[in-house]
Amino acid sequence: MVDANWRDRLTALDVDEVFQVFEAARLADGREGIMGLPSFLTAAGAHLVVTTGGRIVGYANLDTTGDSLGNQVAELVVHPAARRRGIGSRMVRALLDRAGDATLRVWSHGDHPAAAVLADRFGFTRARELRRMRWDAVPLPEPKPRDGVVIRAFVPGRDEAAVVEVNRRAFSWHPEQGRMTVADIERAESESWFDPNGFFIAQETNSAQETNSAQETNSAQETNSTGDTGGVLGFHWTRVHRGRDHKPIGEVYVVGVDPDAQGGGIGRALTIAGLRHLHDVGLDRVMLYVEADNA
């Protein structure tokens, strides 16, 4: 017997079982490993859990807060051993019912043929496409922002609000990234993967002399001494993913530049700073997710 129930929160056992379903699906579908435990699994929300024989065989998450365009956002997975039994269709119907009159957007990871069948069956159309790109890490030159700008490390407890404001302006068009809040950054700071030394800030300084002195040192103390002199113009947040079955891989998590500061090479300098960091910590691969129409 197949049961499907909505839950406001998953237990620790539920999280472990759902993660096992993710892993089984990944292996069967030939995709690379999950980059850490998805944060929505441990958060309160709308969790659809499908069980048979007391074991979880399907899971769907519905983000009812929606994206910046007003869409509710979902994703779902069915264990390979439980596929072709109508479970995927049952979950999509439940998601549509739960979303009600709101527009529902569902992610399809890897563009799986079964997902295409479900999309066609329920009248979904392709709205966005993300592509995952990879860079084989090589040594890079020192980043050289324009005069009056310093590249420094993020300082927890001080830089969150400024980063959120730059992010809001830089990604006002983006349905997910534009929603980032101070609380989101603070939650990330508590994660094991968070490293402020891999989170770069571009900030105005009072003089070219200060800029040069900050560029020539890796000391957070010295770079921060010039960091209070002007506004934050951009940021580059990197991540390192340490999977169970693959070598660690770096990620250009997000690069954002204030629209008023664009065109001066700040984005390039931030990108180089982040890539240099990932190379210097011993990574030989870096990935980046980009919109298909911007690849």
> Which pLDDT tens digit goes with each residue over 96-125?
999 998 889 898 877 788 889 999 999 998
Residue from 57, 50, 46, 43 nearest 7 by CA: 46
- Quick check: pTM over 0.75? no
Those residues with Cβ within 8 angstroms of residue 47's Cβ, 6 or more apart along the chain or in another chain: 6, 7, 8, 9, 10, 14, 59, 60, 61
Task: Note whether 61 and 10 are within 8 A (CB).
Answer: no
Delimit the CATH 3.40.630.30 region(s) of the chain: 2-127, 135-294
Mean pLDDT, rounded, for 220-230: 43
Question: What residue has token string 């700040």?
Answer: 266
> Is the four-CA dihedral 163, 169, 170, 174 of positive or negative sign?
positive
Mean pLDDT of the chain: 85
Q: Quote the distance between the C-alpha of residue 46 and its chain's center.
A: 20
Q: How far apart are CA 179 and CA 67, in angstroms?
A: 7
Residue 209 predicted with pLDDT over 60: no
Among 82-91, 167-176, 286-295, which range has the highest average pLDDT? 82-91
Pairing of strands 199-204, 149-153: antiparallel
| DSSP labels, 195-249 | -GGGEEEEEE-S-HHHHHHHHT---HHHHHHTTTSS-EEEEEEEEEE--SSS--E
- Min mean pLDDT across 16-30, 205-219, 230-244 is at 205-219
Question: Residue 138: pLDDT above 80?
Answer: yes
The mean pLDDT of 256-260, rounded to a whole number, is 95
Whether pLDDT at 41 is above 80? yes
Tokens of 78: 């069915």
Q: Going by C-beta distance under 8 Å and a sequence separation of 6 or more, which residues neighbour residue 247?
A: 284, 285
Task: Give me the mean pLDDT over the 194-206 stretch.
Answer: 93
* Cα-Cα-Cα-Cα dihedral sign, residues 52, 53, 57, 58: positive
Region of poorest pLDDT, from 77-91, 173-187, 201-215, 257-271: 201-215
Q: How far, CA to CA in Å, does 115 sit from each of 65, 67, 93, 97, 292?
A: 24, 21, 14, 19, 19
State the first-to-last Cα distance of the chain, in angstroms, to the nearest integer: 45
Q: What does CATH list as the number for 2-127?
A: 3.40.630.30
* Tokens standing for residue 57: 């065989």
Provide the pLDDT for residue 57.
Answer: 97
Q: Residues of the chain with pLDDT > 90: what percent? A: 55
Residue type, position 148, single letter: G
Residue 222: pLDDT above 80?
A: no
Reported CATH class of domain 135-294 = alpha beta
Query: d(Cα 10, Cα 22) in Å, to the nearest integer?
Result: 15
Q: How confident is the model at residue 192 (pLDDT cuts 50, 70, 90)?
A: confident
pLDDT at 245: 62
pLDDT (0 to 100) of residue 137: 87
Neighbours of 150 (CB within 10 A): 24
Q: What is the dihedral of CA 274, 277, 281, 284, to 10 degrees?
A: 60
Q: Identify the residue with better confidence: 227 or 276.
A: 276
Task: Show Cβ contacts of residue 278 under 8 Å, excluding neighbours closer than 6 positions.
Answer: 137, 198, 238, 240, 250, 286
